[in-house]
Structure 1
Amino acid sequence: MANTQTDTPAVLPGELRSWLADELPRLIEAHGVPGAAAGVLVGGEIVDVAAGVLNLSTRVEADTDSLFQIGSITKVWTATLVTQLVDEGLLDLDAPVREYLPDFRVADESAAAAITTRQLLSHRAGFEGDLFTDTGRGDDCVEKFVSGLAGMPQLFEPGGQFSYNNAGYVLLGRLVEVLRGKPYDQALTEHLIQPLGLTHTAPGPYEAILHRVAQGHIATGEDGALVAAPVWALARSNAPAGSSLAMRAADLLAFARMHVEGGAAADGGRVLSRESVAAMQEPAVEVPYIGLLGEAWGLGWEIDETPVGRMVSHDGSTIGQNAFLRVIPELGVAVTLLTNGGDVYALSRALFDAVFDRLTGTRVLAPAPDPADAGPDPDAETAARFVGTYSASVMDVVVTQDDDGALWLQPSIKGELAALAPAQPAERVAPYGEHGLIQVEGTGGVHVVYAFLDPGDDGRYRFIHTSRALPRSA
């Protein structure tokens, strides 16, 4: 894998740190974020800063050794554990998962028998994946979780399309457990955290409490004021998908550096083969355009082509904490932002644009979706293609058209997550491109695009895509 770090402009680490130390406090104040840590890998060196507070109740200040949860960025760690098994000849990505987990079941028996590890890694398994069952805190919690997948409905045939799947990554975590003969947290520690020399990374709350740790914050009440979240982490059973892994920015960038350096740790030890690093960064499936995800997905990574080279990335969110990671391997550059509440998406965009401009002199990230590019309200016949109810176990989305012809979209969180997510009002949407609807108002300058897929014989779309493919139910 090419690593052309000398192609980046000469930015001295001290200058970059000084600039970040000035910029991050200004940005978090502007976007109502209690605390954050940011870091940059460039020229083989890591520069990191922190600002704000870890908890609005205690007012403990954030510093560069503070741990923030990385949420679903954990999936790249799980994918790395899986590809290590490929390197060792213990796993064939294209063999049915049942060759290794014979008890694996979902509602569709033929799909369960066909799903492969490669499909799980690239979110193409096709079964509904937002399951967050708490199966306890014991070392058997992942095993119990996977047993609970037996009733999960199949949305489309395996390999048919992209649909983000948390449960699929828990299944991958169980695969690691079985082939390693140890619990997921132990495998993560022994095969990634320790080989990478990470000193401020915690698989769960029992390890995190030994460090200075961020608390998530959520908006409550009519004024949207932030308060500390009622719990720190999601269930341990979801650990392979991103329920509790926490670390400082420098440790996350050390993990990214291993993927930049072809699988080598900072001490030169081999963590992953160059071939597996390259395979993880190759597109496996196109992703419907919603404005918040990559153009494609590889084996764990989101993927975008940029003017300065291929970018691999991932975001993560837990209860009131959000994390962002962008990596351009060809330049030897990685940028991360870890936060604990507030208008984090607008903050991340502002920070990444500014950092990449300093490092490359180029606008690296694609322009955000702009409602100014939306089309006019459709007539009733055209609107009928979108109008309806789309449902999954954790979320309903209802699209309606009012008497004036305007389209409205009402998302509703269901199940155990409903208590942790504020109720969302109906939002005005407008046609965007050939198969999308965009938020007219948006939040914090971010306007999500809802993609609609697979029109039937009557022209009505069968799926709405919100990163998950939600099937039409009415």
Structure 2
Amino acid sequence: MRLWILSLALTAASLPALAATPPNAAEVARFAERQLQDNYPADGPGAALLVARGDQVLFRGARGEASVELGVPLTPDSVFRIGSVTKQFAAAGLLKLVEAGKVSLDDPLSKYLPDYPNGAHISVHQLLNHTSGVKSYTGIPGVMAGPIRMDLSTAQLIDTFKNQPVDFAPGAQWAYNNSGYVLVGAVIEAASGQPWHAYLQQALFEPLGLKHTRWGDDHALIPGQVQGYTLSQGRPAPANYASMSQPHAAGALVSTVDDLLRWNRALHEGKVVRADLYAKMIQPEGAALKEHYGYGIEHTRLRDGDLLAHGGGIFGAMSFLLYLPGSDVTVAIVQNSDSVAPGKRAPEVLARKLAAYAIGRPYPEAQAIAPPPAQLKSLEGVYRSDPKTARAIQVVDGRLVSQRFGGQRVAMTAIGPDEFVFEDGLSRLRFERDAQGAVTGTRFYADGEGEGSFSPRTDEPLPAATVAIALPAAARERVAGRYTREGMVLNVFQQGEQLLAQMAGQPSFVLAATSPTRFAIDSVGAVLEFAPESGPAKTLTLRQGGAVLEFQRAP
């Protein structure tokens, strides 16, 4: 789920690559250790990390605490929830049934679930690559705020979404879909006669020696499993609870970095499914082609080479597992927090940096320069790539910041007269000029690859800054409280005479009042409007980037 104050998913420009000899194990280990220490504290939730080239482990380490309350440190052997990395295991398990002749990718869902609405027109293939159009149950209003806590059987879970309106006709579009993988699990159960996780245990985990990969059953003691956390008002707090019966085959497995390496080696070297079925896993097609999505695996690029990867996010954990086919490099990162602390990097960004370094084509370390203020000022403007997408660039507190309309401000660091790097250390923006030296636009480089996308400079004015008014204490107290929507929890609270808003697991932002019921957050392009009735506000409406979300005050 994407929350409104998540950092923008920005990635780096690619400088011309030079042929290089991959660094040795000691060099990779030093680099990886530095990334781990820079990104995770020793006295809070942390992560386990592994980098390997083939079977050779180049780095294996951990930093942080498995239990913050007890001060128990994490180790590389710690067991974490892996969230949606589960999907590739479920996909491979179903393909084993295809190999055995018990399932066909062209089979209709109705063959396995006869009563499923429109099941005769939804294929197994469409479940696997997110083109079924089925409503994703994690996006149904109210589910994540309470019902996600209930233990449900597969049939009961399917009942919660099967009668929901579909998002599109099967095969017509692509939309990431947790319900689709619950149905993958249901097909596995129907074809194998076993619970989905028991089948995976028999068909995959035991034969491959994945001793610590299993269903993350809430009612079982799992040796080595860590506690899960989130960020609340800038401090670690226990993660929200969800019954692990509900992430199902879409996200309910736990594992270790060593098991994830063993899995990568087996899957990508042809030891799990036969070659034609493996090709289906990694080669997007149809409506999934534009989204680079196969079966539980995204097929994109890193430093001009193929990248096979998937991330996971679930209450109390985040993960990322990648594989580079040409160099046989694996990076696995699992962390026991569902939040990324301000100024730190998400597992995906860390994994990309580590993989690039391991193949001898690291993302360049930015050497900051300090352009004169007048030069920064001359770059201000609105740059538009299409009628619906524009980026405002302006100087804020002496730094050049970029903000997509309706998005979050991201500070940039100058590394050249016209070149800037984003806070994640990968993403780059370059200003382009004409023969007379006038700025004509920007070129943004995504994922460190390609030629970048150009956005011409326009004559549009920069968005006006909000002029805040002071509110009496009673007006601030009326809107302060806890508001919820579809599993999102938004806290509005006071610090001195300031009001702040914070989505669970995310940084807090100061609210600028324009009236007693309307507040702006310029840094994320958001407006919060509270119901005007007397007494504590019962509802809060968030407007950002064209989205309008209504939250209800929690008891």
Calculate the TM-score normalised by the size of structure 1.
Answer: 0.69
Tell me how far apart the structure 2 counterparts of residues 38 and 234 of structure 1 sit (CA, whole Å): 26
Structure 1's 77 and 317: CA in aligned 2 closer, same or farther, altered over 3 A? same
Give 1:19 shift: 4.5
The residue that corresponds to 1:117 in the other structure is: 124
Tell me how far apart the structure 2 counterparts of residues 19 and 364 of structure 1 sit (CA, whole Å): 12
Tell me how far apart the structure 1 counterparts of residues 82 and 160 of structure 2 sit (CA, whole Å): 25
Tell me how far apart the structure 2 counterparts of residues 377 and 278 of structure 1 sit (CA, whole Å): 38
Residues 27-66 of structure 1 mapped to structure 2, 5 A cutoff = 27-29=39-41, 34-46=45-57, 47-66=59-78
**Are 1:201 and 1:247, in contact at CA under 8 Å, matched by a contact in 2?**
yes
Could you tell which deviates more after superposition, 159-168 or 345-354? 345-354
Compare the two structures and name the one with the higher strand fraction: 2
> CA offsets per residue over residues 198-249 of structure 1, 9 Å max, x none?
12223123687332222221122xx322212253x5441322111x311111
Corresponding residue SS for 2:333: strand
Answer yes or no: is 1:422 the counterpart of 2:433. no
Give 1:359 shift: 1.6
Q: Which one-letter code corresponds to 1:20 in the other structure?
A: A
The residue that corresponds to 2:234 in the other structure is: 224
Give 1:285 shift: 4.8
Answer yes or no: is 1:257 the counterpart of 2:265. yes
Answer yes or no: is 1:89 the counterpart of 2:101. yes
Corresponding residue SS for 1:296: coil
Q: Which one-letter code corresponds to 1:414 in the other structure?
A: R
The residue that corresponds to 1:336 in the other structure is: 332
Give 1:67 shift: 0.6
The residue that corresponds to 1:459 in the other structure is: none
The residue that corresponds to 1:356 in the other structure is: 355
Give 1:65 shift: 0.9
Tell me how far apart the structure 1 counterparts of residues 523 and 81 of structure 2 sit (CA, whole Å): 29
Tell me how far apart the structure 2 counterparts of residues 33 and 310 of structure 1 sit (CA, whole Å): 35
Q: Which one-letter code corresponds to 2:301 in the other structure?
A: E
**Are 1:184 and 1:240, in contact at CA under 8 Å, matched by a contact in 2?**
yes
> CA offsets per residue over residues 349-375 of structure 1, 9 Å max, x none?
55334422332222589xxxxxx9994
Give 1:34 shift: 2.0
The residue that corresponds to 2:417 in the other structure is: none
Tell me how far apart the structure 2 counterparts of residues 98 and 284 of structure 1 sit (CA, whole Å): 23
Answer yes or no: is 1:303 the counterpart of 2:310. no
Tell me how far apart the structure 1 counterparts of residues 223 and 321 of structure 2 sit (CA, whole Å): 22
Tell me how far apart the structure 1 counterparts of residues 172 and 77 of structure 2 sit (CA, whole Å): 43
Structure 1's 219 and 134: CA in aligned 2 closer, same or farther, altered over 3 A? closer
Q: Which one-letter code corresponds to 1:237 in the other structure?
A: Q
Corresponding residue SS for 1:346: coil
**Are 1:201 and 1:208, in contact at CA under 8 Å, matched by a contact in 2?**
no
Answer yes or no: is 1:240 the counterpart of 2:249. yes
Corresponding residue SS for 1:120: helix
Give 1:343 shift: 1.8
Give 1:316 shift: 0.6
Tell me how far apart the structure 2 counterparts of residues 120 and 471 of structure 1 sit (CA, whole Å): 29
Compare the two structures and name the one with the higher helix fraction: 1
Calculate the TM-score normalised by the size of structure 2.
Answer: 0.60
**Are 2:281 and 2:295, in contact at CA under 8 Å, matched by a contact in 1?**
yes
Tell me how far apart the structure 2 counterparts of residues 165 and 113 of structure 1 sit (CA, whole Å): 19
Q: Which one-letter code corresponds to 1:120 in the other structure?
A: L
Structure 1's 407 and 103: CA in aligned 2 closer, same or farther, altered over 3 A? farther
Corresponding residue SS for 2:207: coil
Answer yes or no: is 1:20 the counterpart of 2:1. no
Tell me how far apart the structure 2 counterparts of residues 202 and 160 of structure 1 sit (CA, whole Å): 34
**Are 2:136 and 2:161, in contact at CA under 8 Å, matched by a contact in 1?**
no
Structure 1's 169 and 60: CA in aligned 2 closer, same or farther, altered over 3 A? same
Residues 360-379 of structure 1 mapped to structure 2, 5 A cutoff = 360-363=359-362, 375=382
Q: Which one-letter code corresponds to 2:485 in the other structure?
A: K
Give 5+ residue unaligned stretches, structure 1. Answer: 1-6, 106-110, 265-270, 289-293, 366-371, 386-397, 429-438, 444-465
**Are 2:218 and 2:244, in contact at CA under 8 Å, matched by a contact in 1?**
no
Tell me how far apart the structure 2 counterparts of residues 251 and 213 of structure 1 sit (CA, whole Å): 14
Corresponding residue SS for 2:161: helix
Give 1:329 shift: 2.0
Percent of pairs with identical residues: 26
